[in-house]
Amino acid sequence: MPSPFKTLLLTLPVLVLLPACDLFDTSDAEGTRGRGARAFDPYASSASGAISLSLLSFKGCAILPNGEPVTKGGLNLPDYPNECINLNLGFPIAAPALPPTARMQVTPGQAYFLREFSAVDMLQNVHTDYNDRRTPAAWARLQSNFKDLDWSGLSMGQDDWKVQDPGTLQRETFYENAAWMTSTTDTLLLEVLDSDGNVRTSETYKRTDFLSESSATGRTRVSFTVTGLAPPRFPDDPIPVVSKEREALVYASTVKVSFANSTNPFKSFTMPQLQGEGLIRVTWSLMPKKPFLFPVTFVPASERPATCYQVGPDGLATDVPVPCGFGLSQKVVMTPPRNGRYLEPGEALDFVISLQDGDGHSLHARDSLPSFKQYMEGESNGLAHFNSFMLVNWRDGSASESGYKVVGPLQDLVVVNGSHTPPYFAFPQAVEPEYYVPPSSTYLPGGSLHRPNTRITVPLPPDAKPGTYALLVKGHRDFMGERLNRMDPFFFQVGQAERTTYPGKIGNCQVCHNGPNSLNNVHHGGSVDNVEACKVCHYDEGVGHVSDFMHRIHVNSRKYQQNKGDCTLCHLTRESTLRPSLVACAGCHPGTHGNEYKHLEFQDLSAVPNIYGNCANACHVTSPPREHVLPKR
């Protein structure tokens, strides 16, 4: 079976901001994890105040983060489906539904907090009239699993096009402004039941307890999507053209309700001391008669098998097995340079990856990572690999992108506009990281059985510029109900011992992103100290151009209550604000030019002209719009 897509389908942006942040309080140290008076680090395993709980549901069936549907086992749950759709059987989604077999495990006696609740209903290739955008909206209002919501005020929003691959696009029509979408008073009642249906503990979460909830952050959305399109002949072309890279178009009507990143992880509950089967029930106050059901198996910590490994003095796994704990910690052991101080141009960066739980136990053997098959079968100690079907079917773009990227020197890292080749060293050169298991390899004979080597070598070019380089490591883990994503930088010197730094053109993220909602506790899990590293992957619209989604997230967030025309909060230099482009300005001003430059949306990344071009070279010269407040220098 071919890979459904070679690149990501959509942008899942970084984050929205907290309400009522103190713009003048910049005293928090940016290098501190879990900033705030009450430090909280969900990655710290047994040292965490509570373990983050992720609950996912697709068409009424609980699913694991790897896309496998969860069986209700022996529980008497007449409202839980006997058969579920397996998201991993194909794209479009394979039919018919089958009896699920996966189990969701949790630990009794463990403190948890609800970090994510996401539920999806979707139809694929049912509404197949390219020009009919009313029928998908009618299905959402009248027939979907969410038909009991208050849909009054629903309107058609942006018609968004994204480049998937050269010559292949996706069009997504969003529906907005329904009463339930704009609610701020609704709640989620979480209850844990034993196998007899008795409620053993509960906690109520407000919608405002969650940081990310809008479509701009890849969360709650109602949309009609057409995938596999060739560029239209002209704007608003009513006749769809199938891309030469695709066999046919795929139509999807989707309702996704998703609240993530708790702003109050201290609102926790203790999983009751039970064994065997049980149930987590979530009742949304806007749908009180249709609770969401998540069958679970209670597995005491004392019964966890010893599938992790003790770590030796060298920071790598030994042969001594131990039970796994919660959390995720990424370690790197680099081979020292030949001269003992820095790598010379043309020399190779040689390193060993060691992925560990929060208690310092290795999650894999010393020399190899788990295979893709082990991940899909729940035998990877929670370590996740890139899952194409979870991406295109669940629409979750960053759930399992485990891999790495090498870039540098830091002082040369700039936003790339309209090019496949960044003006600095990058491995891989493409926008995406080097996955431990490349998506395409899992479709080759034996590819899903391959166990990636933990030792990796990246040659540097003979003309590598001197300075500080970064090895960016992305990791993802789901374990006993916990789901964590993180990105860690590891630095090394090339050509000189003196350290260099990022350009320093943007920053101040910690002004609002502090405490439990520091950037290192959300989405990719990268510290604000390294926010300028975001640009080394996000320079293609297919994965999201940083200048687009950064603006789009904050402008569309109800939680970001600052002056949206004040660029000085995030931009530290005037020069960083003076490159207007269609992709940069569209984040705040979609459709400003109507269809006048619409054709540029459908061009390849490196085509000229394109949406990444500098508008100041043509019409806008260097005079910024008057309503924008820019840094003085």
Per-residue pLDDT tens over the stretch 64-87: 999 999 999 999 999 999 999 999
Counting DSSP H helices and E strands in the chain, the numbers are: 5, 24
CB-CB contact of 162 with 541 (8 Å): yes
Is the pLDDT reported for residue 23 higher than 70?
A: no
Q: Which residue would you say has higher pLDDT here, 592 or 399?
A: 592
**How many other CB atoms are found less than 10 A from the CB of residue 614?**
15
pTM, rounded to two decimals: 0.91
**626 CB-near residues (< 8 Å, 6+ apart):** none
- Give the pLDDT score at 16: 36
| Least confident segment among 193-207, 302-316, 539-553 | 539-553
Token pair recorded at residue 230: 């060739």
In this prediction, residues 143-149 reach a mean pLDDT of 98
CB-CB contact of 274 with 200 (8 Å): yes
The DSSP letter of residue 592 is T
Is the pLDDT reported for residue 502 higher than 70?
A: yes
When pLDDT is cut at 50, 70 and 90, the band that residue 398 belongs to is: low
In this prediction, residues 141-156 reach a mean pLDDT of 97
**625 CB-near residues (< 8 Å, 6+ apart):** none
In this prediction, residues 153-182 reach a mean pLDDT of 91
- Give the pLDDT score at 39: 56
- Give the pLDDT score at 17: 34
Token pair recorded at residue 244: 């030469």
Phi/psi class of residue 481: alpha, beta or left (left: φ > 0; alpha: ψ in -120 to 50)?
left
d(CA 55, CA 259): 10
Is the pLDDT reported for residue 595 higher than 90?
A: no
Token pair recorded at residue 299: 């597995």
Is the pLDDT reported for residue 32 higher than 70?
A: no
Closest CA to 99 of 124, 71, 123, 121: 71
Specify the residue for token string 């043309």.
346
Specify the residue for token string 């993220």.
509
CB-CB contact of 112 with 50 (8 Å): yes
DSSP-derived pairing of the beta strands 105-106 and 329-334? unpaired
Token pair recorded at residue 10: 């959509």
d(CA 41, CA 50): 9
Is the pLDDT reported for residue 486 higher than 80?
A: yes
d(CA 334, CA 470): 12
Is the pLDDT reported for residue 608 higher than 50?
A: yes
Is the pLDDT reported for residue 12 higher than 90?
A: no
When pLDDT is cut at 50, 70 and 90, the band that residue 20 belongs to is: very low
Q: Give the tens place of pLDDT for each residue, 199-226.
A: 999 999 999 999 988 888 889 999 999 9
What's the chain's average pLDDT?
A: 89
In this prediction, residues 354-376 reach a mean pLDDT of 96
Is the pLDDT reported for residue 36 higher than 60?
A: no
Q: Give the tens place of pLDDT for each residue, 383-396.
A: 999 998 888 888 87
DSSP-derived pairing of the beta strands 168-176 and 155-165? antiparallel
> Which stretches of 125-235 are assigned E, i.e. beta strand?
155-165, 168-176, 187-193, 199-206, 210-212, 221-229
Q: Give the tens place of pLDDT for each residue, 228-261.
A: 999 999 988 999 999 998 889 999 999 999 999 9
172 exposure class (CB count in 10 Å sphere: 0-12, 13-18, 19+) = buried
Tell me the β-bridge partners of 296.
278
Is the pLDDT reported for residue 89 higher than 60?
A: yes
In this prediction, residues 322-330 reach a mean pLDDT of 95
In this prediction, residues 340-346 reach a mean pLDDT of 97
Tell me the β-bridge partners of 395.
none
CB-CB contact of 53 with 112 (8 Å): yes
Sign of CA dihedral 242, 245, 247, 253: negative
